Chain A
Amino acid sequence: MKVRIDVTQASPIITPELVREHGLSEAEYGRIKQLLNREPSLVELGIFSVMWSEHCSYKSTRIHLKKLPTKATHVLQGPGENAGVIDIGDGDAAIFKMESHNHPSFIEPYQGAATGVGGIMRDVFTMGARPIAMMNALRFGEPTHPKTRHLVKGVVAGIGGYGNCMGVPTVGGEVNFHRSYNGNILVNAMCVGLARADNIFLSAAKGAGNPVVYIGSKTGRDGIHGATMASAEFDDASDEKRPTVQVGDPFTEKLLLEACLELMATDAIIAIQDMGAAGLTSSSAEMGDKGGSGIELDLDKVPQREENMTAYEMMLSESQERMLAVLKPGREAEAQAIFRKWELDFAVIGITTDTKRLVVKHKGQVVADMPITALSDEAPVYDRPYAERPPASGNPAFDAGKPLLESLVTIIASPDMCSRRWVWEQYDHSVMADTVQGPGGDAAVVRVHGSNKGLAITTDVSPRYCFADPYEGAKQAVAEAWRNISAVGAKPLAVTDNLNFGNPEKPDTMYQIVAGVNGIGEACRALDFPVISGNCSLYNETNGEGILPTPAIGAVGLMADVHRMAAIGFRREGDTLILIGRNHGHLGQSIYLREIEGREDGAAPPVHLTEEKRHGDFVRNLIEQGTADTVHDLSDGGLLVAVAEMAMAGGIGAELVAAPDATASIPFFFGEDQGRYLIAAAADTARRIADAAEKAGIPHALIGRTINRKLLSVAGAGEVTLERLSTAHENWFPDYMGGLEPPPVN
């Protein structure tokens, strides 16, 4: 799709080609004419095109997303607002959401990623929260692809450039590489904020006759049709879309944050919403829609960065760092004084009405006049056909003779498993002085300022599982997020989902979406883990090649006392290692199979949600009681990788017993069965833990102990020094990024 509209023409004839260029189907255009009872103006066509885009309307996913569980007593605000809100006690609320900025980041990695961070922060602080932590889930193409290094460098610098300036710590995330992302990288950013539960701001512009005010940066010509771009596949000419990528200004955003929080300390605001995708159009339409009111805008009053901007350009601009608010009448001067202090633009650009229409005036003329419901309730909803595909099955064969510890070294030095230090050292993860655990643990933990409470935060998904089995894979993503939060000792409270998929018009892809949403719903129900916000990014395809299905799950949990947080690093020599959970030796879709055998096959590991919950509740209780302080969940790479990570993090070695069945040593140590944790505890404590597990009927096994030598040994399989492990683990990323020669193309 190419957007080549001559916007200088006052009222061009709406041709079928123009309609197509706006990403609207013939049927959709027919519906627009029906809703308006006439042909739309060009401005109206532009407004429909963004509001009915997949990005804004969720037209392919809406009927499926309705099936997700969204309620719980601690949920103060579920999906539908700028972000979700949960009650974390003592009058505090946590506000969070994860959102993608995939398409822009592929075209212009620095600005794409930076504005992704800025956008999600605005979603959170527009609700009255001070952002306190950022996470990001990144997927790049294979390391040998000629673009990958450039994209990694730009995205990481962009996330750091924006987040660091904002002074919000970036405390963790994920980085993966896979060839399916060669033409479509994924940049998913999550923001967690803190507010008072009785001071949450919503976007419903209730009431008529209230001033609509514009605050923040001036409007320019950047980002026009960003939402439409984000709703289309890429082709070889995608670089031509660079002008649709917005440019971020974190300095202005920081001022906007402080100014908004200052205004929010007064009671002048009726409603407020950030201008994200589709800028002025979506913010005004959504605020009117939620408030059941109408909105009249006078574009001549909009602060403009460039001369002679048309109404079309202003309504579709995605210039960053802007907010739209509805104030109580008479409070304009008070609000203006705050924005002046922070040297930001402030203008009254319209008024709420009782007509339920969006009316846009420019240079004395009405350039758009449409019922708001036509943009929201009447937006198309599709039940797209999908083709069910049986999940990958079978337990793949492997060479039982491969040396265990050599394989371990290979795995922990592989692109997906090596240390991400090169990435997260470019993010300020300790600003705000509340980061109890930054990157590198099972979940990040930030203290609630001025208290002993902490929020545990994680993002998780294993796209290879989702490709093999979209349903089980999505369940696994939720279960792993829940497990990571439990592993630090926090109670998992709620989820935000960022559903990244290919083209929903393809029945195979649509099946991945439907099964994925069902899997998330199933797991969230079983684990009492409601979905409170989220985002869909579809059409992640280039030249017809789609990405691995990637439903990223961001989650937040609460711990009463951060001093009791468990961490992964071994703390003492002579600790007993206790494995919690069943070990079936599931090698299908495992990291071992991919990195050592060069195969991506077999069934994804099944997730038994009742076991998951029992094991997690058991482990969390131990941590809360102060019984366990060293815990790691088992995930990618299985048991041996988990032990190696605990040893490297603590600088203390360990010796492990042999696998119970000598012929099944590899599945025992590298299998990726779910619902498992490894605990290290002093011998007497370990006995008490084992007794408690026995009583509770929780599968457990004593599998080794920490030792006073800096090495990792496995009975019958030799040993490897921690130094060799750490060097291999730490070196891959800096070596790769420091590579001067362009990598070979395969």
Chain B
Amino acid sequence: MKSAVIVFPASNCDRDAATALKQLTGQTPHMVWHRDSELPQVDLVVLPGGFSYGDYLRCGAMASQSAIMRAIKAHADRGGAVLGICNGFQVLTEAHLLPGALMRNANLQFVCRPVALEVNETQSAFTRKYEHGQRVVFPVAHGDGNYFADDETLNRLEGEGRVALRYAPGQNPNGSARDIAGILNQKRNVLGLMPHPERVVDPLLGGTDGIKLFQGLLETLS
């Protein structure tokens, strides 16, 4: 599986994503600068966490206008896999690759802690290695992870089985609607999630629950 990690100004989990990809796929991902207009030949594009453009407008709003986004949209349209983690999820909603928006956390504070999630949907390359309803623990680290969409959209996401991950009952760290932690696009080849799977791929660092996400991609896309 070949992959690319997009580097926006003030992306800061780009190295973490690259480290996890290298560890779990055996291949070093391409690091792609946001001003590039073309992607290398890859199976997976990762939009990493961070504070692209300082989060100074809305989180992800400026990055969604980057030159590389056009190529990423084309990649997604062709059925290529796109994974947006944290700030990457925000960029994907701003770019309309995923519906809804990420608002300020309900308590207005940044939050960094391990959070229990439930895998709600296993029909995707990202989640196929997990069991339906399986509990996993990923850390969150964000100030704007409060997922919002209108009821119609939320009903549709649920009806189409596109809510990939939910915060476990009582664990919602940010006020997200219907405890949504991660969603898929209609074609199920784009996943955006606020928690960080790339930070739980090493037992030394607090868990390995993120490994299956990358393994699922590896098996599907290789």
Contact = CB atoms under 8 A, between A and B. Distances in A.
Given A164-B51, A254-B12, A428 B110 contact: yes
A250 B205 contact: no
B103 interface: no
A644 interface: no
A250 B143 CA distance: 15
A563 to B, nearest CB: 7
A343 interface: yes
A343 to B, nearest CB: 7
Given A250-B54, A251-B54, A428-B141, A434 B205 contact: yes
A249 B53 CA distance: 11
Interface in B71-99: none
A253 to B, nearest CB: 9
B143 to A, nearest CB: 8
B48 to A, nearest CB: 10
Given A433-B19, A563-B204, A254 B112 contact: no
Interface residues of A, number: 31
Nearest to A168: B12
Given A427-B112, A430-B139, A431-B12, A165 B205 contact: no
Interface string B54-72: 1110000000000000000
B204 A251 contact: no
A103 to B, nearest CB: 25
A527 B198 CA distance: 40
B112 A251 contact: no
A425 B139 CA distance: 11
Contacts, number: 86
B132 interface: no
Contacts of A447: 204
Contacts of A19: none
A165 B51 contact: yes
A167 B50 contact: yes
B110 A250 contact: no
B109 interface: yes
Interface in A200-239: none
Contact of B54 (A165, A425, A428): A165
Residues of B in contact with A, size category: 20 to 34
B10 A251 contact: yes
B166 interface: no
Nearest to B112: A428
A658 B50 CA distance: 52
A433 B202 contact: yes
Contact of B204 (A424, A425, A431, A562): A562
A431 B17 CA distance: 11
Interface string B101-139: 000000001111100000000000000000000000001
Interface string A416-458: 0000000011111111111110000000000100000000000
B9 A251 contact: yes
A160 interface: yes
A342 interface: yes
A456 to B, nearest CB: 15
A157 interface: yes
Contacts of B13: 167, 431
Q: Is the interface of B mostly helix, strand, loop or mixed?
A: mixed
B205 A426 contact: no
B26 to A, nearest CB: 16
A120 interface: no
B204 A165 contact: no
A167 B55 CA distance: 13
B187 interface: no
Nearest to B51: A165
Interface in A148-181: 157, 160-161, 164-167
A426 B50 CA distance: 15
A255 interface: yes
B141 A164 contact: yes
Given A251-B54, A251-B56, A430 B199 contact: yes
Nearest to B141: A428
Given A251-B9, A428-B112, A433 B199 contact: yes
A571 to B, nearest CB: 15
Contacts of A430: 112, 139, 141, 196, 199, 205-206
Given A251-B10, A563-B204, A432 B111 contact: no
B20 interface: yes
Interface in A235-251: 249-251
A251 B59 CA distance: 13
B34 to A, nearest CB: 11
Contacts of A435: 205
Contacts of B156: none
Contact of A254 (B10, B16, B196): B10
A252 B13 CA distance: 17
Contacts of A252: 54
Contact of B20 (A250, A433, A563): A433
Interface string A544-569: 00000000000000000011000000
Contact of B110 (A160, A342, A432, A562): A160
B196 to A, nearest CB: 8
B173 to A, nearest CB: 9
10 contacts: A167-B10, A251-B10, A426-B112, A428-B112, A429-B112, A431-B13, A431-B16, A431-B49, A431-B141, A433-B19
Interface of B: 9-10, 12-13, 15-16, 19-20, 49-51, 53-56, 109-113, 139, 141, 143, 196, 198-199, 202, 204-206
Given A427-B110, A427-B112, A432-B15, 8 more contacts: A167-B10, A252-B54, A425-B111, A430-B139, A430-B206, A431-B199, A432-B16, A433-B199
